[in-house]
Amino acid sequence: MTEHEDNNAEPAAETHSEDVQAGPTHSGFVALIGATNAGKSTLLNRLVGAKVSIVSHKVQTTRAIVRGIAIHDNAQIVFMDTPGIFKPRRRLDRAMVTSAWGGAKDADLILLLVDSERGIRGDAETILEGLKDVQQPKILVLNKIDRVRPEDLLKLAARANETVAFEQTFMVSATTGSGCDDLMNFLAKRLPEGPWYYPEDQISDLPMRQLAAEITREKLFLRLHQELPYASHVETEKWEEKKDGSVRIEQVIYVERDSQKKIALGKNGEAIKAISTASRKELSEILEQTVHLFLFVKVRENWGDDPERFREMGLEFPRS
């Protein structure tokens, strides 16, 4: 951090406070990587100050890179939320993990997020090892500090820093916001000087149609269990702005088998109704307009091997 401290070395006597604020802009891409469920999407939303990426208690919620844009002091920080890294089995898994590492390699800075309650084992350990070969500056972020004792945090920080040369270690709680200001202050200074990449009021690069599909997928992850969330995929098919200021949105939930369709619909359509209500409510809040949401469940065997679905999600289609 020391090489950046001279940014403050302005000739104070001649500088008005507005001039200091107007100083050089900083900008850059910051990848959030980590094991699945570490809290990457929760932290992204916290740092951006808006819901940009969906969150659930289940693993493998995020499937493709989602950019969330924050402005802090003179810096525009473009966070890249990535899918959690885990041992892939299906084609979709492989695409998700490739996308996560790709995100890291495209970033100016990498934040490794660790669930401090879970510690460094399994996937987190594999990622730590993998980070040794990544060139960019790396920052360690221990998340979920609301769930652990301080002495355990210190042990965890020491253990991670033994393996990878992290520039800094931060301890945060994405849900309470604790430690997040320090992290933002650091990032704003640490990113290189340069013009902003996005207009000032833009908070995400995800088109509304896709965010809307993601919101429905989140409700589905929260409501349905076992293999179903992983066997399903949501697409927005129709988006019609009405004269009365409301919007009609039609979405399709793709599942792989007829038996899954039955579960997604639920007894007397209860499951789909609950998903639809929850999604519509949140979409109305985000869009600030009345939303008429229509969900259809369709069986599409092997959607997980269909290149078109991957393109739709913003993922590369793995050849094998």
- Which CB sits closer to Mg ion, 86 or 166? 86
DSSP H helices in the chain: 2-5, 17-21, 40-48, 91-106, 123-131, 150-163, 180-190, 208-223, 258-265, 270-287, 307-313
Does residue 56 bind Mg ion (CB under 5 A)? no
Q: Which is nearer to ligand GTP, 278 or 299 (CB)?
A: 278
Task: List the structure tokens of 308.
Answer: 């078109």
Residues in 46-65 at the binding interface with ligand GTP, rule: CB under 6 A? 55-57, 59-62
Q: Which of 26, 52, 74, 84 binds ligand GTP (CB under 6 A)?
A: 84
Asked if 61 interacts with Mg ion (CB under 5 A), we say yes
* Site string (266-305) toward ligand GTP, x via CB under 6 A: ----------------------------------------
Q: Which two tokens stand for residue 293?
A: 């949401």
CB of 105 to ligand GTP, least distance (A): 18
Q: Does 216 bind ligand GTP (CB under 6 A)?
A: no
**SS3 for 214?**
helix
Residue from 143, 204, 232, 279 in contact with ligand GTP (CB under 6 A): 143
* Whole-number Å distance between alpha carbons of 295 and 271: 11
Contact pick of 39, 68, 103, 304 for ligand GTP (by CB under 6 A): 39
Residue nearer to Mg ion on the CB measure, 221 or 303 = 221
Q: Pick the closer one to ligand GTP by CB: 26 or 219.
A: 219
Nearest distance, CB of residue 9 and ligand GTP, angstroms: 36
Tokens of 105: 């390699």
Number of residues that bind Mg ion (CB under 5 A): 4
Closest by CA to 117, choosing from 141, 84, 93, 145, is 145
Q: Looking at 169, 173, 232, 260, which residue binds ligand GTP (CB under 6 A)? A: 173
Options 45, 56, 60, 62; binder of Mg ion; rule CB under 5 A:
62
Which run of H or of E encompasses 72? strand 66-72
Question: Taking Cα atoms as reference points, which of 97, 68, 95, 98 lies closest to residue 81?
Answer: 68
Shortest Å, Cβ 129 to Mg ion: 21
Name all contacts of 45-51 with Cβ < 8 Å and 24+ positions apart.
45/174, 46/174, 46/175, 46/177, 46/180, 47/77, 47/79, 47/180, 47/183, 47/184, 48/79, 48/203, 48/204, 49/203, 50/203, 50/204, 51/282, 51/286
Asked if residue 41 binds Mg ion (CB under 5 A), the reply is: yes
Q: Which residues make up the interface to Mg ion (CB under 5 A)?
A: 40-41, 61-62
